[in-house]
Amino acid sequence: QPERKNFADRLEKALPPARLALLKTIAEEAHRHRLPIYVVGGFVRDLILERPSIDFDLVVEGDAIALARALEKKYGGKVTSHSRFGTAKWQIGAIRSALIEKMKAEGELRAEDLPDSLDLISARTEFYNYPTALPTVERGSIKLDLHRRDFTINTLALRLDGRHYATLYDYWGGMNDIKKKLVRVLHSLSFVDDPTRMLRAVRFEQRFNFRIESRTLQLMSEAHDLLKQVSGDRLRHELDLILAEENPVSALNRLEELNLLSAIHPDLHWDASKSDALWRVLKEPLDPAWQIPESLGNQPIRNALAYLVWLIPFPPVSSRAICERLKLSHHLQNAILAGNHLMDELPQLIGQPPSRVVARLEEAPIPALYAIVCLCPGNEICQILNRYATEWQKVQPLTDGYTLHAMGIEPGPVYRRILWALRAAWLDGKITSREQENALLNQLIYTQIIQ
Ligand code: CTP
């Protein structure tokens, strides 16, 4: 007999009044249609762990699309549905204020506390015809719907309709495992159905400071090789989620310990000596003097920096292969490879004049340089990179292309040579004033033109 505890108090405390009112409005409508409706998964787990999140998934024992359409008819908004999966998305963004008016609830309701949209899902059973395939879907009971999920801690459901409001349904021992702090699969083929769950297991284990239960750990070690069949996009998505965790370092350490990274690609490892650097790029303020852009391509900069810190120390052949495996963006791949090559060459820059440093670093993406500085803080190379990024990079002569044109010089490659020679002279302290620049300019024009 499943546990039937009431969680009304916790639910009321966890959600802003407007979200709670929305949940109740939907539950009321479901009840009118005699449809059992549940909030499931991570939301319930987090509610019990007292680390409430506000995003919820709703599962209906019956036709979720019909329920969404009924809500749309009564309250407005727009429904899009996916009949094969029995799922509906109710977009309420545009009617948020109107919805607030219609929801007869107590408490201060703020339209901005409502989500843009809500997913309503018909309880379903999924069958995997072969490992890593897309599942075949059939309508089912909430109990079976919960059974197809990854871990017991994610199988808790809070029923919302009618007198069942806020009753906890615990069919698969989720409560017990939360109490015992265990990440446990529901059946022995869980990782065969979806090998990315191995990465999720580590993420949840480290996030909640749980342990992966021993049989589950055994199943993981047997399923390792299935990660080889998973697409780069799906793996990268899981790694991105890990990098976005509060403590990504502990999750990476654990992935390494369980040999899951080398299952993704034989050369991929996590080396704990990079922990400080990873922490710096993910959690600490980025040095404002570097003026690091907010994104690399269209990837948020901290996520890109994390991959840079992780992959730059690898030999170029390995990191190229890993980039391919994880289908990293071209921008990121280029930055990683630029960083790989620089790691070897940087020692040669020690003692060189600034113009030589600028000439070598000019093409390197700034985030790659920042990652290198975070990897080897305080050493001589790091000081050179710092001066390059914050000072030398910005040094430009007073003369520009227009000046040369006004002086009657025919445009061509000679412009670049003259301007670079002036810039190099400033960088190396050979000139320090407009007069000296003009004198050098005249000299350069003379030598360049008679050449
Ligand atoms: N799920 C699964 N197998 C996967 C991914 C997800 O069984 N490979 C199930 C999980 O049971 C999860 C639900 O789908 O509870 C929703 O997935 P997601 O939103 O990723 O899970 P959350 O638990 O909400 O994760 P997070 O706290 O990181 O948002």
Q: Which of 118, 152, 189, 200 is the best mutation target for the ligand 1 pocket, counting ligand atoms within 8 Å of the beta carbon and taking the most?
A: 200
110-119, 156-165, 218-227, 375-384: segment of lowest average pLDDT: 375-384
Residue 377 has pLDDT above 90, yes or no: no
- Cα torsion for 388, 389, 391, 392, to the nearest 10°? 40
Lowest mean pLDDT among 106-110, 327-331, 388-392, 400-404: 106-110
**Residue nearest ligand 1's atom 9 by CA:** 149
Where residue 207 falls among pLDDT bands split at 50, 70, 90? very high
Q: State mean pLDDT over 215-233.
A: 97
What is the tens place of the pLDDT at every residue in 399-434? 999 999 999 998 999 999 999 999 999 999 999 999
Task: Report the Cα 241 to chain-centroid distance in Å.
Answer: 5
Percentage of the chain beyond pLDDT 70 is 95
Whether residue 52 has its Cβ less than 6 Å from ligand 1:
no
pLDDT band at 104 (very low <50, low <70, confident <90, very high): confident
User: Looking at residue 132, what is its pLDDT?
Assistant: 63
Please give the number of the atom of ligand 1 that sits closest to the Cα of 151: 11
| 174 close to ligand 1 (CB < 6 Angstrom) | no
Neighbours of 61 (CB within 10 A): 20
- Ligand 1 pocket test target in 118, 150, 238 with most atoms within 8 Å of CB: 150
Query: Ligand 1: does its nearest atom lie under 6 Å from the Cβ of 62?
Result: no
- pLDDT class of 136 with cuts at 50, 70, 90: low
pLDDT of residue 138: 58
Q: Please give the number of the atom of ligand 1 that sits closest to the Cα of 41.
A: 15
Residue with the nearest Cα to atom 19 of ligand 1? Answer: 42
CA of 151 to the centre of ligand 1 (A): 9
Which tens digit of pLDDT belongs to each residue from 305-318?
Answer: 999 999 999 999 99
Q: What pLDDT score does 376 carry?
A: 87
Q: Which residues pair with 140 in a beta bridge?
A: none
The preferred substitution site among 154, 170, 210, 226 for testing ligand 1, maximizing ligand atoms within 8 Å of CB, is: 154
- Residue 378's pLDDT band (boundaries 50, 70, 90)? confident
Q: What is the mean pLDDT of residues 345-367?
A: 95
